[in-house]
Structure 1
Amino acid sequence: MKHFSAAFLFLLLLGGRPAAAQVAADTLPGQAKFTRQLAARLCTSIQEAGQKQPFEQLSPKQADDLFMRLMLAGMGDQATEFSALLTAAKSRKLNTNKLGQEVGLAAVKHLSNDCPGSMSLLLRTSSAQRELGSKNSKSSNDISAEEKAVLQPMADTVCAKIAAEDARLPLKKRTATQRYELMTTLMQTTVLKNMNGLLTVYSMEQIQNKTSMEAFGIKLATLMMTRCPAYLIMLGEDKQKSQR
């Protein structure tokens, strides 16, 4: 089951690898408030866009264009506030490009907590697809109807169990190792309990194959990202910190 670990690196959805001298969320007056409001606007606009066209039908480029358009529109709605942030950053000799990146990444993290349905768009972006290992125009998280019928209940089960564990002892108070071991255990037990269902969509040969199981792990994590993304992002952050 170690093949699932690569699917947890969803913090990299926007190519957000650690950068030096990043601007903290509360470095500038009004920055945290601006980010929360931007995330709220994005949540609404993403939901509206999803009603017009299922995100599963988008190519990575189309997903990139749509998310960027919605992001810019959200910032445009708060142009005065964003201009004030840029002015404050310049006066403190802070890198305005990094400020923009931090605002965007913080907004995505807000979305993961408050608007998990938005993850279905972010998972289609080219940055997410690169991290997932997609090739050419094929998306690594494309899931057939037959697979989804089996995997969605599994994803819901894992998310429910994580939420219960979080209520018992908040994941933020646990160590990175404890969080990883918890997720691994929950994934393993859920997979084993649903093996009969899995064998209706995958052959025994596929289940015993590392590459096939990596693809399965990505698909399961993709479905979890639309239900409980905050937990997966937390694991992604743990992984990033361990690699610094």
Structure 2
Amino acid sequence: MGGTPAVNPRRARPTRCAAAVPALLVLVALLSGCAAGTTGTAETAGTTTTAAPVPQDRAPAAVGEAHESEVPSGWAEPGDGPVTPVEGLDAEDRRALLRIRASSDPVEAACTGEDLAAELSFTDAALGHRYGLITVTHTGVGDCAVRGYPGLGARGAWGNPFVNELEQNPVDLHGRYLPGGDESVPQTLTLSAGESAQLLVEWTGTLGGAESEPLGDLLLQPFRGADAVVVTGAAEQASDLSMFTTVKVGPFLQPEAEPGTG
């Protein structure tokens, strides 16, 4: 009772059905490549077609207050050596400055860092709060797409990586929560050459002062694994975004038409 039954070696020969099992498993494995969200291939009538990747969306994420071990040594005052311009950093070093990663895996024809230009414009201020819009423009050829929440990170003018509290926030371009809040699934925005998407960014909490390291570079990641894009105008438009400032960023959205143009 309860033991493993003995196997009769005379009956251990594979039947025709058993011999077909490996071939069936191979077919299932090939088909499961598309279901798992990877790019698969299918051969039909002598031609090969590539299946579109299925994006993996993640809920808005947040990174809380930094641990002491994350704060750069000597961060409270300028260093003696020169600071390498952000243009002089390689792709890996730029990605290392990201404090939070993008929420979506690449979709079909996803915009890469080389496809995009980004610019920050200050829009409004309230007590202890600053607001701006980041406009992301497709500068390449053809079409490319953006989706979900971008990755974000910052570096100070003295060269120190900022350890901001960062939150991906489900808000529209006016700061109003999107229908469904955290459960809202961002749509894929397809950008033709020259077209733009926008997102709201808010910085609040510990704002920088005269003795703080000012913002040097703000970087944005359109999809997970993509190179980071330098956001131009950030140092001037968000000069009080500093080492411990709380930053909230919304998803990529279609820009609203200017009054009288839509």
Pairwise TM-score range, normalised by the shorter structure:
under 0.3
TM-score by length of 1: 0.24
TM-score by length of 2: 0.23
Structure (1/2) with the larger strand percentage: 2
Greater relative CO (CA pairs within 8 A, separation 6+): 1
Structure (1/2) with the larger helix percentage: 1
Structure index of larger Rg? 2
